Structure formats: structure tokens, C-alpha cells
Amino acid sequence: MRIPQIAFGLMSLGLFSAVASAQGGVDASAPYKNPSLSVEQRVADLLPRMTLEEKVSMLSGSGWMESTGVPRLGIPEIKMADGPMGIRLWTGSSAVTSVEGQVHSFSSTAFPAGIDVAASWDPALAREEGQAIGQEVASVGRDMILGPTVNIQRTPLWGRNFESYGEDPFLSGKLAVGYIQGVQGEGVIPSVKHFVVNNEEFERHRIDVEVSERALHEIYFPAFEAAIKDGHVWVVMSSYNKVNGVYAAESPLLKQELYQALGFKGFVISDWGSTYSTAGTVNAGMALEMPGGPPMRRWLAAPGPKEAGNDGGYLASEKVLPLVKDGTIPVANVDENVGRILTVLFESGQFDHPHVGGVAIDTAAQRAVARKIADEGIVLLKNDGAVLPLKPSKLHSIAVIGPSAATARIGGGGSGLVFAKGVVSPLEGIKQRAGGVQVRYALGVAMQGEEGSSDTAEARKKLLDEAVAAAKASDVALVFVGYSWKLETEGHDRPNMDLPAGQDELIQAVAAVNKKTIVVFNAGDSVGVMKWIDRVPGLVDAWYGGEEGGNAIADVLFGDDNPSGKLPFTFLRKLEDSPSYGNYPGVNLHVKYAEGIYVGYRYFDKHTETTPLFPFGYGLSYTSFALSKLEVPKTITGETTATVRVTVKNTGDRKGAEVVQMYLGDPGASVDRPVRELKGFERVELEAGESRTVSFAIDRRALSFYSTEHHAWMAEPGKFEVYVGTSSRELPLQGSFTLVK
Ligand code: BGC
């Protein structure tokens, strides 16, 4: 964006006739106030009207969740809310701080975790979610939601895996685009985060990530690229960490990758306290430092624990202005950054129609979206002897056991946690659905870190005995385990993949007395199940299902909904199998992504000596599907796009959805490439007996790798393999085509 030049152009067109002096009031007919002019024209008109002080004031926030406006010119502040799985509580103008101890005046819909959306493999549903969240944000008079989170799952231990869309960049990108379009369609500003390689919480303010140019382009950038190129996202949030030695908020990647390579027209916002310099940050193109103003100053001055290196406060006017005056920060850089913020204010409609609030929050329609996501995302991992679905007509009693049965685990912890009214626990959902079937409840073991009666050995034994007795007396035992928002959270990684204290023992004790034991768990990534998986016939991954999670679990357990979710990551047997193992969390605040592009299934398909417990894309169903009639073109020439077609049929006796997945391989490539990579998918809902033909478009980019020799994407002529199936390891249909120069 070359704003000053455009401004001169407009002046010569006479559009500047209404320009008032920079200090004076502004004529109501000033061109920038005219919505029928283009955004570029409006920015070009407005920017020269601003004093340097006004422009610099816009580079940092005025509060904890507010940017700085310029009332003299009618420039509004941007009022934000966390994000991404609904609106995190906030009070008043600047009070969105911590989860605990805050009074909050409304409750918003708690949507399921991002990983739940990812498991639905349904971008249209992500769009519905974005739309519902956008409506809620506008309803409470806010303008921006801090999401979606698109950082890739590199290690199963990352504390924010639950917020993300999994391990695959293509899937993450498609879902991010859906969410962004939904939010932006409501005139609300999303903020895709965190750019970039924020894949662990360990020392997130100080860790330096060493990552190759190729891995950045093939694994860590693409979801941001999709957000920008396909979603036309308005804001990108930079991350806390360093990337190859430079903090993300002052990295040359902002200009090189976002602005130049991807043509991003919006602005980059910092993460909260992710700035570590003044001139370096402004000159790098980081437009808005958050938080700012008095809350930031108070917070910095307050005694008490802060994450090491959590600085911020660098873009306050008193710090920036002297550096502009002495030329360390060129005025053109200030103009560019402010111009980007103005661009978003105009583009989003916020300048012309500020959000004034309303009442459409936590409505039945919004709750219905939350339930749909929770339903679609649940993944059935094991179902021996068709132990599921439960058939009330054949059951007398069900034991509902575990620390996550009566307490709904709606989300992981941190800025993404939403507090909602009317939260439905699995126990409530099941009781409501069970009809005449007797439901026996037992806690079994208290959640680690939560109040419970597990303080003494006797109390723990009593709880366990009660659970065993309930399981013994019932036809089926459902055990609800997993993490709480305190144990899987932003700010900390999980120490290992183990379930919280006492949960393995609970499952084993229950399974010993009831052959029909089904384990349902809440987590954002792989958990250790090897100690007992062979002893239970049923295993269900319920993620963090938001406020409707308990109903969704009942829907799936009783077969009102067919489980159709698919794993958006590779489920590990043990931590040591992770491709990042040995290179996590790093040494001396330095972590090397030594696995390069071999993240997730890309690694396991290459190193076949290590087998995942459940592969990427995997998930069972109560019905069955057959794929047939794969049509693959013989050749693809030059820039042409080709289409692969396949027919999917529901061969079972009930309605359900299958996620048809297409992977491509380039065995003859001149560089080392993954065996296959996801390049197309579609979630298809079919009645029993129904079939449909699914088409996947293949463009040149789908065939390309990122060449570090040419610093560009390259597709090499030759033979490409096409694999179509229902997981990265269940690929019954295969074909090939030749790319001709
Ligand atoms: C998180 C962001 C969040 C921000 C504001 C940060 O600590 O990393 O994702 O949006 O806080 O709460």
C-alpha cells in the first residue's frame, strides 16, 4: 500500500477540496466519510488529515481490549473480545483479564473447542460458527474476535492444541477460511493467530524457534495463507516467540511473507505483550500493540507474577514519537501501519456502522450451532462388538462414572475459555435421553486439582468402590475422563500424555467388573490409553464440547446421531513416537524443528517402523460406506486445473456422514517429499443406501513443493499418485496422472 502517493493522486482529482487543517474540525462532507468511495480513496483522504501525534497514538491500544480512536476525526476505537470459541467474559470497557475473580454481566455461547470443529472436517460448519460468534460479538457492542487459532499441532503436549485445527495445514486453512468468512459476514473483525510457529507454551515469550524455510512454507504458513488469500482476513495476530532469532512481532516475515508474498492488506496486531522493541516493531510493519493505555501501564507496574519476558508497552506514544522525530522510525512506516488499521475500519464497515450492541446472544439458534459442532466432531475410536450405540429397549441400567460425567468440560483453559449459562454435562444429557433406563452415577475419582473427596487414601478408595459397585450393577459402564481447563491450558504445556491422576486406575477397575465399558474422554490431542485400551470395547473422543457437549455425547452414544468425526491429527501410542520428540521443548530457550516438513502423518507415512494408534483422518461410524468409480485425468497440462471424481455410498442401514479424503503423492520429485499429502476432502451426509459423486479440484499448487533453491512453489512434471479413502491409512482407491509441462 503506497498511501501518500494515492493521496497526491486524489488531491489532483480535486477530492481534497474539503480537507481541513490537520488540527481543525472536519467537514461532514469530507471524502473519507463517504462510504461510496473506495477504501483506498478514503484512507488516502483521511491519513493526511491526521497529526503525527494522532497517527502514533493509534499504534497502541487504549485499554486491555480496545485500540485507540481519534474522536476529532470520527475514527472509532476497535473493541475486542477473546476468542476464538465464543466470547470470553469481559466487563466494562477494559476488563477482560483472567478467568477467575471477574464479575461478568452476560454469558455467551460456549462453542466447542477448535479441535472439535477440525474433527468435523466441515468448513461450512466452521462458517456457521463464525457467523454465530460474529453475531454475538456485535450484540455485546464489540467489534473484533481474537481468533481463529491456526497454529499447527507439532507436539501432543502443546497446551493450546485444543484451540487449533490439528496437524494438517490444508485442513486448518479450509476451516479457518470458513470461520473467518462467517465472522466477517457479520461485519465483525476476526484475527487469525498466532503468526507464527507458536506451537508450544513452554517459555512462549522467550523461546526461539529454529525452523527451515521449507517447513515454514509447507507446514506453518499455509493456514495463514488461506486465511489471507481465500478468507480475505482483515487482521493477523503475531505470536510471542522468536522465529529464527527474531521476535515474531518484529520479524522480517511480516513484510516478506504477509504483505509482499501473500498481498495482505489488513493489519498485524501483537499478541498481548508480545512486543519487545519500539523502532524494530514499528519498522517491521507491526501495526497495533496490545494491550495499551492505563491498563497496560498498571499491569506492567503491578507486583506479582508475570511470564518471563512478557514486556509490551513499547509502542506508547511517548516511546514512539521521539524516534519518529529523530528519524529512527520513518514517518512513511507510521503511515503504512496506521493506513492498514484505517483500511480495516473502512473495509469492515465499522467506521460507518459502529457496533452498538443488541440482544442476540446465547440464542437458541446459536446454541444449535454449538450442538451441531459438538455432534459432528465426536470421533468414535473403538467400537468392538458394536457396543455402541446404546439401545434403551435392551438396557435396564447404565453406570455413568468419572470426574467429567457430572461436570461439563466445555473448553480448555486460557483466553479461549468461555463461561456460559445452561451448560449441559454428559450426565444430564444422558439422563434426559435414557428414558426409562436406570442411570447410576459415581464420581470414581476427583479431577486432579479440583475439590473432591480424594484427599485421603480411604476417601479415594471409597470413591473407587462406589464406581465399581455402580459398574457391576449396570448393563453398561460409561467412564468420563480427560482433562480440565486447568490441566490443558494456554500458558502451560501438558507434562506428558498421561490422563490426570487416578483416571487410568478408575478405568481399569471399572473394566474389570463390566465388559461393556465405554471410555469417553475430553482432550485436545493424543492421550495415553495403552494401559487399558485392550480391556474396553468402546472409546470415544469428545474433545471439549462447549455448552451443548453433554447433549451431543448423548446424541452419539444413543445413536440419534451417527458419529462422523475424524481425527485431525495422528493419535500416538506414546509420547516418544511424536516426530518432535527430542526436539521439544528445546534447550536454552532454543527449539529446533528438526523434523522439518515431517509433521504428523507426513512423518508416520515415511517412518513406517512407528505406527500410530489411530491415523490422521480416522474415525468409526455406526453405518458403513463404500467408495467406487475413481476418475482421474490421464494428464494435467501447464496451469490447467483437473478434477478427480469418486462415488461414495452409504452401504449401511442408517443415515450418516463420511469424510472422503484425497491425498496426492509425487514419488519422482527431485526433492524429498512426503509420501502423500491431503489435498482435498469433503464431508458427505448420506441416507442409508444413498450415494453421491464427490469432485476434487487439483490446481498447480496442490502439486507443488516449496523450493528453497528458487524460493518459490514448484510443480515438477512427471507422475503423481492419487489416493482416495476415509483416513490417511485407509485409501482403497488409487490412480495416477502425469503432469505435462
Ligand atoms: C493469547 C491470545 C489472546 C490474548 C488476549 C494472549 O495471551 O496468546 O491468543 O487473544 O492473550 O487475551
The pLDDT assigned to 272 comes to 92
Which pLDDT does position 708 carry in this prediction?
97
Does residue 193's CB lie within 6 angstroms of at least one atom of ligand 1? yes
Mutate to test the pocket of ligand 1, among 239, 490, 492, 493 (most ligand atoms within 8 A of CB): 490
- pLDDT-based confidence at residue 27 (cuts at 50, 70, 90): confident
Ligand 1, residue 291: give the atom nearest the CA.
5
- Residue 367 pLDDT: 96
Q: Whose CA is closest to atom 10 on ligand 1?
A: 146
* Rounded Cα–Cα distance for residues 369 and 372 (Å): 5
Query: Cα(567)–Cα(86) distance, rounded to whole angstroms?
Result: 23
82 lines ligand 1 (CB under 6 A): yes
* DSSP labels, 62-73: SSSSB---BGGG
- The answer to whether residues 478 and 430 touch, using CB atoms and an 8 Å cutoff, is yes
In this structure, which residue's CA is closest to atom 4 in ligand 1?
272
**Percent helix, strand and coil across the chain, each to the nearest 5:** 30, 20, 50
Q: What is the pLDDT of residue 202?
A: 97
Res 105: pLDDT: 57
For residue 83 and ligand 1, the question of a CB distance below 6 A is answered with: yes
Distance CA 361, CA 87 (A): 10
Picking from 60-69, 197-206, 498-507, which range would have the lowest pLDDT averaged per residue?
60-69
In the chain, the percentage of residues whose pLDDT exceeds 70 is: 94
Q: What is the pLDDT of residue 424?
A: 97
Active site residue 465: no
Q: Which residues contact 234 (CB under 8 A, 6 or more apart)?
A: 184, 189, 190, 266, 267, 344, 347, 348
Q: What span, in angstroms and rounded, lies between the C-alpha atoms of 459 and 382? A: 32
Mean pLDDT of 590-611: 97
pLDDT at 301: 76
> How large is the average pLDDT for residues 552-578?
98
304-321 confidence digits (pLDDT tens): 767 777 777 899 999 999
Range in 23-27, 133-137, 641-645, 655-659 with the lowest mean pLDDT = 23-27
* Residue 468, pLDDT above cutoff 80: yes
Residue 101 has pLDDT above 60, yes or no: no
Residue 20, pLDDT score: 42
Residue of 168, 271, 504, 666 marked catalytic? 271
**Range of lowest pLDDT (76-80, 84-88, 90-94):** 90-94
Residue nearest to atom 5 of ligand 1 (CA): 272
Give the model's pLDDT for residue 454: 62
Mean of per-residue pLDDT scores for the chain: 92
Rounded to 5 degrees, what are φ and ψ at 549?
Answer: -55, -40
pLDDT-derived band at 359, boundaries 50, 70, 90: low
Instruction: Indicate whether residue 415 lines ligand 1 (CB < 6 A).
Output: yes
CB-ligand 1 contact for 31 (6 Å cutoff): no
| Residue with CA nearest ligand 1 atom 2 | 271
Look at residue 84 and tell me whether its pLDDT is greater than 60.
Answer: yes
pLDDT of residue 639: 74
Task: Tell me, in angstroms, the distance from the centre of ligand 1 to residue 415's CA.
Answer: 6
Is the CB of residue 271 below 6 angstroms from any atom belonging to ligand 1? Answer: yes
Sorting pLDDT into bands at 50, 70 and 90, what band is 19? very low
Considering the chain, what percentage of its residues have pLDDT values greater than 90? Answer: 85
Query: Tens digits of per-residue pLDDT, 263-277?
Result: 999 999 999 999 999
- Residue 659 Cα to chain centre, angstroms: 20
Evaluate: CB of 201 within 6 angstroms of ligand 1: no
Q: Whose CA is nearest to atom 8 of ligand 1?
A: 271
pLDDT of the residue at 6? 31
